[in-house]
Structure 1
Amino acid sequence: MKASAFLYPWDVVGDPDAARRIADLGVQQVTLASAYHSTRALTPRHPRHRIVTAEHASVLYPVDEAHWAGHELRPYAAGAWAPGDAYGEAAAALAEAGLEVHSWVVLAHNSRLGAERPDTSVVNAYGDRYPWAPCIARPAVAAYLVALAAEAAVRPGSAGTELESCGWYGLAHLHAHDKIGGVGLDEAAQYLMSLCFCEVCGAGYAELGVSPEALAAAVRDALRPVWAGSVAGAAEGVPSGVAAIEKLLGAELAAVTLAWRGEVARTLQESAVAAVRSAGGPGFQVLLHADPVPYHTGANAGVDPAHILGVADGVVLPCTGGAASRMLPAFAAHAAGASVLAANFTVVSGMGGAPGSLARDAALAQSLGATELRLYHGGLASTVDLATVSSALPR
């Protein structure tokens, strides 16, 4: 199977050995970040630094001012962590080493946007804003994300793209000094805490026949026992999935939220893919980081497998820790001959990955329908982890 390693431009720029080191792993492709959220990243082999702090979400290339003319929202430029055309410089070095380069574009995940423009953020049933989570139902946000997808995906030297966070973001979020784990939230409670009640979403609920005020009150009532510690989890006989949401919120209200959010997400996904295809031209590959449960939120956006495989060229699926058996069959059932089902495995031991089991995991993924591999992350992994990966990949 074709394999691709994720990288940041700062893993390559300033390190003359980086591109050849990645090529020597045995991968054929690199998935290189062109638009990324804030992060603090380790660079264990770079000759000039060990820690890179990307202070805010940004594009990692110079923006085209004409492309953004008339847009209410626009991307932020990177700081010292990715000056100039960091993406272009890294892509050129990787291509020279014989690697195919695809862009890696993070969309609906932007804490700086939420801090500077609070009106763009998801608002929960208690009125709390999630500054890391742009509300994709808001017209200005959707227009921004589609324009960002088109520009950040189709960078010079890129043969395709992978769109991350192309859908709803919710409560779950890696956050500095996080203190929200005091009450365990099961999947249904996480869903209720991820519902948005901004005025646009409120109008959407109203169009479906439900008062947004009444819906928010119902969410708060449903969650009251949760805050007292009564989440049942996955015990025998306890409903899961949509049934669990319906048990908390009631079938009618649950259906309204699922319908509204599903339609908004599908519209964004269709628009983003269409914009990228228009900018990229024939043969430009478009994949989405995805989850087969449509109401899931986050980097791997929830999608309807049958729908998304009719829109994009394929999906990238998180398969670490046994997740392959949940992720892959749901998409394999709807895949056409050319559909890409990329199984994404964390290969950084310090981040919960298991590079030593990559060969076995890849074989299982292939038996479940995977057509390609993704390795997260070529820049973050230790030298020992990379050596283990290299020995597992076929030559």
Structure 2
Amino acid sequence: MDSSVYVFVEDLRGEGVERVLDRISAYGVRGVTIGAVHHAARDITPHGLSKLTIRRDGAHFPPPPDLFSGRRLKPTAGHQDALDGLREACTRRGLTLHGWTVFLRNATIGAAHPDVTVRDCFGDRGSPSDLCPAHPDVREYAVALARAVARLGVDSVVAESLHFRPLKPERSFVPLGPMDTYLFGLCFCDYCMRRATDLGVDAAVAREECARIVGGVLDGDTPAQGEVTRAALTAYAGPDVVAYARARSETVTTLVSEVASAVAAEGSKLVFIDSTGGVKGYRDGLPSPGLAAHDAWQLGVDLVALGDLVPAFGVLAYARDAARVADDVGAYLRSVGKDREVRAVLRPGHPDSDSADRLVAKARGAKAAGAMAVDFYAYGLVPHPVLDRIPATLAEAL
């Protein structure tokens, strides 16, 4: 069974490529998933040179001029030499190398080009970090970025944020319910509206309904409670809004198809990560009841359609319960097809795994449900004693 450890370039810069890879090799995993393109973050890094690491938006390699010359959107420059020699160092140890790529989450690009970011039902730009997958310039950027990472000689391009993202306000003293938050997070930019209209959706009515409902709650109306389901959303917001939400899947599916084809043309393959599992369980490892595969539509992800286009999928199995991990993996496989490679991404420590036994149980559950690989997230974010659970997990569970 395949396996890898997610690694940030700051880990390599702080500890050195050889030291990090020697430690990872000793865990018995088969590969490294390196953060070739990442978003800005502020992370506690327990064994890094800095215990608080400030990450900036960046592509950690020189962008090929033939891919980005003349394009409006270009990768934000990161640590351009961070990956030098990494491919060769992995080969010497028999490790595969995967290029973890964050596509449409980039506040630097969004701040420089606000028109390529999502726009809510009130006409406001929701967040500079959320690039809209319907915008033509964003789509060209994503395809070129995928080609650039594939050219690094990676065995796969691991795609994160290649879909719409949910609304995540830093502060809200208004008790928005889950459905209100979802409606507030829908993008109504010109390109999203046009694509929905082309599919027969009355996009203007959908926007008006979202503005009416969310505006009412902001003015003091009682927010709706309960899980976001298509049936509940239809009853709450009406069929035009649900049809608009469904239309987003065409935007994502066609973009992912273009990216997968571009990666394949460069001799690599795409591993698509749907962030729904992270949305549900990131904070505490206690995801809401609906399985991630069943709720992926909320981000515009049509797993059934992508199953015909993408060879491999990463499942963010951010849950404390081994049975939930197995259920999530099984639901993905039923959606994308039993012949597709599904990789379960596990967090080996807090908040998901309070012991080595729990991590082993979750890895066993993922394997029993049909996962072909288990990946561990992430090297620089957890203490060494937690990382030391990986060898026993691989030996006992896989």
Question: Structure 2-normalised TM-score?
Answer: 0.85
Q: Could you say what secondary structure the match of 2:363 adopts?
A: helix
Show the 5 A alignment for 1:189-338.
Answer: 189-209=180-200, 212-224=203-215, 226-227=217-218, 228=220, 230-234=222-226, 240-259=228-247, 261-279=248-266, 281=267, 284-290=268-274, 291=276, 292=293, 293-297=295-299, 302-321=300-319, 322=321, 323-334=324-335, 338=339
Q: Could you say what secondary structure the match of 1:44 adopts?
A: coil
- Aligned partners of 2:173 and 2:316: how far apart in 1? 23
- 37-46 vs 243-252, greater mean Cα deviation: 37-46
Report the Cα offset of residue 161 of structure 1. 1.8
Q: Which residue of 2 aligns with 1:365?
A: 366
Q: Could you say what secondary structure the match of 2:138 adopts?
A: helix
Report the Cα offset of residue 336 of structure 1. 5.2
- Aligned partners of 1:331 and 1:256: how far apart in 2? 24
CA contact (8 A) 2:210 2:237 kept: yes
Q: Which residue of 1 aligns with 2:105?
A: 109
Note the residue ranges of structure 2 that are not aligned, 5 or more in a row: 277-292
Q: Which residue of 2 aligns with 1:141?
A: 138
- Aligned partners of 1:229 and 1:20: how far apart in 2? 58
Report the Cα offset of residue 6 of structure 1. 0.4
CA contact (8 A) 1:25 1:389 kept: yes
Report the Cα offset of residue 240 of structure 1. 4.3
CA contact (8 A) 1:123 1:196 kept: yes
- Aligned partners of 1:210 and 1:304: how far apart in 2? 18
Deviations 1:311-343 (A, max 9, x none): 111100111214424532222225556521111
Q: Which residue of 2 aligns with 1:27?
A: 29
Q: Which residue of 1 aligns with 2:163?
A: 167
Q: Could you say what secondary structure the match of 1:189 adopts?
A: helix
Deviations 1:47-88 (A, max 9, x none): x43333123x2100111112212312111111xxx2x32123
Deviations 1:252-292 (A, max 9, x none): 33113312x1111101010010011111x2xx332100252
- Aligned partners of 1:218 and 1:389: how far apart in 2? 49
Q: What is the aligned-residue identity percentage? A: 24
Q: Which residue of 1 aligns with 2:61?
A: 61
CA contact (8 A) 2:318 2:346 kept: yes
Q: Could you say what secondary structure the match of 2:272 adopts?
A: strand
Which of 161, 175, 188 aligns to 1:183? It is 175
Q: Which residue of 2 aligns with 1:339?
A: 340
Q: Could you say what secondary structure the match of 2:297 adopts?
A: coil
Using a 3 Å threshold, how does the CA distance of structure 1 residues 154 and 182 change in structure 2: closer, same or farther? farther
Report the Cα offset of residue 144 of structure 1. 0.7
Q: Which residue of 1 aligns with 2:282?
A: none
Report the Cα offset of residue 232 of structure 1. 4.5
Which of 149, 152, 156 aligns to 2:149? It is 152
Q: Could you say what secondary structure the match of 1:126 adopts?
A: coil
Q: Could you say what secondary structure the match of 2:133 adopts?
A: coil
- 147-156 vs 288-297, greater mean Cα deviation: 288-297
Report the Cα offset of residue 345 of structure 1. 1.1
- Aligned partners of 1:73 and 1:126: how far apart in 2? 26
Q: Could you say what secondary structure the match of 2:251 adopts?
A: helix
Using a 3 Å threshold, how does the CA distance of structure 1 residues 132 and 113 change in structure 2: closer, same or farther? same
Report the Cα offset of residue 28 of structure 1. 0.9
Q: Could you say what secondary structure the match of 1:295 adopts?
A: helix
- Aligned partners of 1:113 and 1:342: how far apart in 2? 30
Deviations 1:214-270 (A, max 9, x none): 322210222245443734433xxxx741112212210233113312x1111101010
Q: Which residue of 2 aligns with 1:71?
A: 71
- Aligned partners of 1:18 and 1:136: how far apart in 2? 35
Q: Which residue of 2 aligns with 1:125?
A: 121
- Aligned partners of 1:367 and 1:225: how far apart in 2? 47
Q: Which residue of 1 aligns with 2:280?
A: none
CA contact (8 A) 1:5 1:29 kept: yes
- Corresponding letter in the other structure for 1:367: A
- 37-46 vs 119-128, greater mean Cα deviation: 37-46
Q: Which residue of 1 aligns with 2:284?
A: none
CA contact (8 A) 1:91 1:101 kept: yes
